[in-house]
Amino acid sequence: MRKKKIGIIGATGYTGSELVRILLNHPEVDIAAITSESRKGDQFAEVHPFFRGLIDQQLVSIKDIESMDLDVVFLALPHGVSMDFVKDHADKPYPVIDLSGDFRLDSPETYEAWYNKGHIYQKGFEDAVYGIPELFKEEIKDKKLIANPGCYPTSAILGLAPLVEGGMIESQVIVDSKSGITGAGVKAKAATHFPNVNDNFKAYSVKNHRHTIEIEGTLNKLSSDELKVQFTPHLLPVDRGIVSTIYSKPKTGVNTSKISEVYKDFYKDEPFIRLTDQPPAIKEVRGTNYCDIYCTYDERTDNFITISAIDNLVKGAAGQAVQNMNLLFGWDETAGLRQVPMNP
Ligand SMILES: NC(=O)C1=CN([C@@H]2O[C@H](COP(=O)(O)OP(=O)(O)OC[C@H]3O[C@@H](n4cnc5c(N)ncnc54)[C@H](OP(=O)(O)O)[C@@H]3O)[C@@H](O)[C@H]2O)C=CC1
Ligand SMILES: CC(=O)N[C@@H](CCC(=O)OP(=O)(O)O)C(=O)O
């Protein structure tokens, strides 16, 4: 059968090149177009020299894909930019998998409140599905617009989903997350300048990070009670990886000794969830689509403590996008995603 023709939009950035890294080894696809507005005409491997000898492809402009007969398009563009593409290409036959936050929330009003930015395409919210395959597999299968989740939300939501869906916890949840610096994108900025991150560690966007509402809104879709999420991200001096440590209180009467069975049962058919018997490490998932999850109960404080680890560029972005594509086309969910973690 003919391989599906893929377009990757915005491939001078980190998630764009990560998509290429994964899709080069995907058995069902050919990378037909890789775009860049700033480097069009250059070879992709000139922009990302670690691809030398592996791919012979010239970067094209977005307008050049109009004449191509693509089967699916990945948007690795900043938020606020993706929405223009989605609106302008709404009549195209191909599905779009958007890695940005432009269509993850429930309405333009919520978006505007948390992103401090206007939204130009209300219909996209009606068309989109939130692409977290472990929770919304059936809904993803026949959608034309997939809003690929944020990296922090992926780690927090997957960590909490079994407790939330089981109605096991009280309404206040604390998510304390640490991310590698590639989460901030390829552009140089003061916050990610080497002396500011090397040998250093700090929280940022306390109380108002836009992922708070993405986590809270998604968990509330699984919950019969109204949950509130306190989310604090931290910048970790590593390239890639996220660890989230999550605190929640069991409801009165919940059988806390059954916690591992609850997680095992919830994720029993999920190839990318690995339940661990000790806190997971970012190097144990590096370069892979795994989300490793550890959960325990502390009798002294009456808290559940859940710790999850992902690679922000893979399960937190490009890998999850490929997993979504696999579902869209009815392929094995793990196609192209069977990497072994790179450790050390
Ligand atoms: N990095 C991560 O860990 C994660 C990122 N995401 C999301 O995925 C999307 C891509 O992220 P990431 O790859 O890190 O981003 P980068 O900043 O590394 O790359 C973004 C790319 O978009 C292109 N682009 C097009 N228009 C613009 C514009 N107006 N301003 C800036 N860049 C533009 C750029 O390529 P060119 O100018 O050459 O066309 C650039 O290569 C973002 O929405 C991000 O929030 C989601 C989860 C995790
Ligand atoms: C370390 C770091 O800076 N991380 C980014 C989140 C990356 C991501 O997933 O962002 P989107 O929701 O925009 O896709 C941040 O905190 O803004």
pLDDT tens digits, one per residue of 289-328:
999 999 999 999 999 999 999 999 999 999 999 999 999 9
**CATH ID of 152-311, from 3.30.360.10, 3.90.420.10, 3.40.50.720, 3.40.50.300:** 3.30.360.10
Which ligand places an atom closest to the C-alpha of 76? 1
Prediction pTM value = 0.98
Q: For residue 167, what pLDDT is reported?
A: 97
Q: For residue 178, what pLDDT is reported?
A: 98
**Is any ligand 1 atom within 6 A of the Cβ of residue 132?**
no
In the chain, residues under CATH classification 3.40.50.720 are: 4-149+315-328
295 is catalytic: no
Q: For residue 71, what pLDDT is reported?
A: 98
Q: For residue 142, what pLDDT is reported?
A: 84
C-alpha pair distances (Å), 161 with each of 37, 45, 129, 168, 293: 39, 40, 17, 10, 11
Query: Among 84, 99, 291, which is best to mutate for testing ligand 1, by the most ligand atoms less than 8 A from CB?
Result: 99
The token duo for 204 is: 């940022």
Which ligand places an atom closest to the C-alpha of 238? 2
pLDDT in tens, 227-274: 999 999 999 999 999 999 999 999 999 999 999 999 999 999 999 999
pLDDT in tens, 121-144: 999 999 999 999 999 999 999 899
User: Amino acid letter at 157?
Assistant: I
DSSP states of 138-173 as a string? HHHTT-SEEEPPPHHHHHHHHHHHHHHHTT-EEEEE
Nearest CA to ligand 2 atom 10: 150
pLDDT in tens, 138-149: 999 989 999 999
Ligand 2 neighbours by CB, cut-off 6 Å: 79, 100-101, 150-151, 179, 183-184, 211, 233, 235
Nearest CA to ligand 2 atom 15: 184
Catalytic: which of 34, 96, 146, 151? 151
Q: Compute the average pLDDT of residues 8-22.
A: 97
Q: Work out whether strand 128-130 and strand 145-147 pair parallel, antiparallel, or are unpaired.
A: parallel
Structural contact between residues 149 and 217, judged by C-beta atoms closer than 8 angstroms:
no
Q: Give percent above pLDDT 70 in the chain.
A: 100
pLDDT in tens, 46-72: 999 999 999 999 999 999 999 999 999
**Is any ligand 1 atom within 6 A of the Cβ of residue 131?**
no
Fold type of domain 4-149+315-328: Rossmann fold (3.40.50)
DSSP states of 314-344 as a string? IIIIIHHHHHHHHHHTT--TTTT--PPP---
Provide the mean pLDDT of the chain: 97
Gap from CA of 99 to ligand 1 centroid (Å): 9
- b/e burial code for range 158-185 (CB count within 10 A of at least 16 → b): bbbbbbbbbebbeeebebbbbbbbbbbe
Residue 220 has pLDDT above 90, yes or no: yes
Q: Work out whether strand 128-130 and strand 72-75 pair parallel, antiparallel, or are unpaired.
A: unpaired
Residue 1 has pLDDT above 90, yes or no: no
153 CB-side CA count, 13 A? 26
Q: Give percent above pLDDT 90 in the chain.
A: 99
Q: Give the number of the atom of ligand 2 that is nearest the alpha carbon of residue 191.
A: 3
In the chain, residues under CATH classification 3.30.360.10 are: 152-311
User: Amino acid letter at 149?
Assistant: P
Residue 204 has pLDDT above 90, yes or no: yes
